[in-house]
Amino acid sequence: TTTTETLGFQTEVKQLLQLMIHSLYSNKEIFLRELVSNAADAADKLRFEALTQPALLEGDSELRVRVSFDAAAHTVTIEDNGIGMTREEAIAHLGTIAKSGTGDFLRQLSGDQKKDSQLIGQFGVGFYSAFIVADQVDVYSRRAGLPADAGVRWSSRGEGEFDIATIEKTGRGTRIVLHLKDGEHDFADGWRLRGILKKYSDHIGLPIQMPKEAPAAEGEDAAPAQEWETVNRASALWTRPRSEVGDAEYTEFYKHVAHDHGDPLAWSHNKVEGKLEYTSLLYVPGRAPFDLYHREAPKGLKLYVQRVFVMDQAEQFLPLYLRFIKGVVDSNDLSLNVSREILQSGPVIDSMKSALTKRSLDMLEKLSRDKPEQYATFWKEFGQVLKEGPAEDFNNREKVAGLLRFASTRGEGDAQTVSLADYLGRMAEGQDTIYYLTGESFTQVRNSPHLEVFRKKGVEVLLLTDRIDEWLMGYLTEFDGKRFVDIARGDLDLGALESEEDKQAQESAAKDKQALVERLKTALGDDVADVRVSHRLTDSPAVLAIGEQDLGLQMRQILEASGQ
Ligand code: ADP
Ligand code: MG
């Protein structure tokens, strides 16, 4: 039977549709990029499943995407012979958004179109972008391996609900018909569509075909059988030599692999030969996805083995603190039937992981050196994640430390712009340690009495106020041979920064004030561990310091908040 069922979109989908239609009007043509990107993913999935089940190819192994149009009917059609969808898959994938945290994210929308349209970049636009140009979208699909009568038709006007019906479909894969809105009819044009495909989809490693534009032969009545021609380059981008790939192509490829609507900040494309052979193409995204801190958020690289797609989100090739890196790795050493379990460890994976980690850190280092402004953007978006590095990756601690940025008493307000190299470069005569102070807010640390003596001596202090900072400093003990010292702790030893006279003055002051110290100790009793005459202060009469071995204030608060 072909009874049609009408189902409602998930609330999040309705919101996303509204947002997309209203915010992407200046860049409408991206719908084609998204639909072709999905078709290419569908071909990748089929090729992979066919490795173990060749029957899925149904004698049609030339995977391709076809884009056609009907100017009279105002339609554009995108058709693939990839994996296809079952009825259930169509309902799930084209009616809901699976990403965790989506609801929370969308509830933050301000209603301010300009701001909201920037938010959409964090989302990736995907299938629903079809509704930017179409007021009706019909999807016909059949999952590879299922009989012809197990096809599905999904149809929607993008207004809150969609129809779903079981249909007969001979060819496997998915056909999407866009009924163009009034005012968008110009998209049903061969020249225009070719231009868009060239611009956005040239890097797709699968042939994208369009009807061959043959000059109408004279005196011919019957229309000749449709001929197709490939309009893209159709070779996987990462297999091409670096010198032959332009920036625009790298950027478009990023959008395809990362499912991101925005531009990347940097990339690194490398072919490794020798004991291990693989190609990697790694990207630093331009902005953090909304679910960066969600445990189940997608992370990892797209894994290919000898150019055959094997899996998305292969997490084993990069440490967690580099989970924001996107891209592709194509190995000649792994087996095509590699599983997530096999990927867990082993000498090949271990050595690729350490090389790709180093590549990623080098790419960030280069970005910080060559494009400090873009690095500042990177730091704003991902700095907190990078701060997990020293704890997770002992071997690269120094390298990661070099990439960190801090606020400091010499910086511009609370902006995190100071690198450790900057700090070392302006250390005072005789200074051999890196001083820092942690606290809850910038205003609090900036006004801390602990800073008085440093201000007097003109010595820079790093000001750390992020939640993760104390934890970070627990793992960051030195940089370039210089120790880190928390200026709120124990007896502050200023070493060579102090002159002989300073020291003598302090000793005599300590003697003079012995009686006062005793009285304070008695008065404060068990509330304090010790009372000492300090040389930290120049203006304030007293300061609370933390013992050398005690937990920092921030850590205490974190532990208290978590009930420990
Ligand atoms: P994404 O590509 O980031 O997963 P999309 O919104 O573009 O998100 O697509 C949603 C899902 O719909 C895809 O993940 C896929 O499961 C399914 N899908 C979309 N287009 C196709 C297609 N041409 N063939 C098979 N499945 C598809
Ligand atoms: Mg997609």
Task: Report residue 170 CA to chain centroid gap.
Answer: 39
Using DSSP bridges, classify how beta strands 482-486 and 433-438 pair: parallel, antiparallel or unpaired. parallel
In the numeric block, which tokens belong to residue 472?
A: 């970070």
3-state secondary structure of 133: helix
Q: What is the pLDDT of residue 294?
A: 83
Dist CA 54 CA 268 (whole Å): 35
Dist CA 1 CA 174 (whole Å): 21
Which pLDDT tens digit goes with each residue over 103-112?
Answer: 877 777 766 7
Report the Cα–Cα distance between both ends of the chain, in Å, rounded.
61
Nearest to 491 by CA among 533, 522, 455: 533
Query: Of the bound ligands, which one is closest to the alpha carbon of residue 139?
Result: 1
Please list the ranges in the chain whose pLDDT falls under 50: none
State in Å: Cα 77 to ligand 1 middle.
16
Task: Report residue 140 CA to chain centroid gap.
Answer: 32
State in Å: Cα 328 to ligand 1 middle.
19
Q: What is the pLDDT of residue 218?
A: 63
Q: What is the pLDDT of residue 172?
A: 97
Task: Report residue 379 CA to chain centroid gap.
Answer: 13
Pocket of ligand 1 (CB under 6 A): 34, 38-39, 42, 80, 82-85, 93-94, 124, 126-127, 174, 259
Dist CA 184 CA 135 (whole Å): 10
State in Å: Cα 508 to ligand 2 middle.
74
Q: What is the pLDDT of residue 110?
A: 67
Residue of minimum CA distance from atom 19 in ligand 1: 38
State in Å: Cα 217 to ligand 1 middle.
40
Q: What is the pLDDT of residue 525?
A: 83
The minimum-distance atom of ligand 1 relative to the CA of 176 is 23
Which of the listed residues 127, 143, 257 should we mutate to test ligand 1's pocket, taking the one with most ligand atoms within 8 A of CB?
A: 127
Which of the listed residues 19, 35, 38, 175 should we mutate to test ligand 1's pocket, taking the one with most ligand atoms within 8 A of CB?
A: 38
Which pLDDT tens digit goes with each residue over 115-157?
Answer: 776 677 677 778 999 999 999 999 999 999 999 999 999 999 9
Nearest to 427 by CA among 375, 384, 371, 483: 483
pTM of the full structure: 0.83
Q: What is the pLDDT of residue 22?
A: 78
State in Å: Cα 338 to ligand 1 middle.
24
Complex ipTM tops 0.85 = yes
Residue of minimum CA distance from atom 1 in ligand 1: 126
Class of residue 295 by CB neighbours under 10 A (exposed 0-12, middle 13-18, buried 19+): exposed
Residue of minimum CA distance from atom 18 in ligand 1: 38
Residue of minimum CA distance from atom 23 in ligand 1: 39
State in Å: Cα 296 to ligand 1 middle.
19
